[in-house]
Structures are given as C-alpha cells and as structure tokens.
C-alpha cells in the first residue's frame, strides 16, 4: 500500500487490512538501508516463526537524538534479540528508557 499523504503507519496498515486479513505482514520503510549477510527481513521472519507476535527492527541512536525517535525499553532475550517492555515516542534524553 502507498499513502497519498503523510498520515502515519497505523493509517497505511488500516488501509491494507482487507488484503492482510489474519496473515502475518511486514511494514517496510525506505528511511534506512541495512547491510547484513542475512537480509534483515529474513532475520525478522525467523524471529516471528520462533517466537510469534510483532517483531521490530531497531537501531541505536545517540542520547541527544532520542527526542527524534520512538525509543524502546528492552529486556534481553538472546544475542541481538530483546523483548520490548515499553515504547516511548520522542522522549527527552533524560527520560529515554534506552538509546
């Protein structure tokens, strides 16, 4: 699905709901390019197949940039795998649960 204007991710998922049904789906954004031996989406699908639920790809940012992003409060699960305990949208650096 493509949006004709900036209405947010929730809106585009809502617009695609009749195509998605109850099937797993991915929301891909063109903001970042990820270089990896195994494609990022493939890794995320493997996490979904193992654990189920929603899977997010996140990146670390500088403390002073936390106010520009949604920041997760992570709980360690395994190597490079964390459970999201909370998500804070654009927190002040002193209130960010992580980077």
Report which of 22, 76, 87, 32 is spatially closest to residue 41, judged by C-alpha positions. 32
Q: What is the pLDDT of residue 2?
A: 73
pLDDT band at 65 (very low <50, low <70, confident <90, very high): very high
**pLDDT at 37 exceeding the cut of 80:** yes
Q: What is the mean pLDDT of residues 26-42?
A: 88
């Amino acid at each position: 699905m493509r949006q004709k204007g900036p209405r947010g991710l929730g809106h585009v998922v809502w617009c695609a709901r009749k195509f998605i049904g109850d099937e797993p789906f991915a929301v891909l954004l063109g903001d970042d390019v990820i270089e990896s031996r195994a494609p990022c989406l493939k890794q995320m699908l493997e996490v979904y197949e193992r654990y189920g639920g929603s899977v997010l790809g996140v990146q670390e940012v500088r403390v002073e940039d936390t106010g520009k992003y949604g920041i997760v409060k992570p709980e360690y699960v395994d190597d490079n795998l964390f459970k999201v305990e909370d998500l804070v949208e654009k927190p002040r650096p002193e209130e960010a649960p992580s980077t």
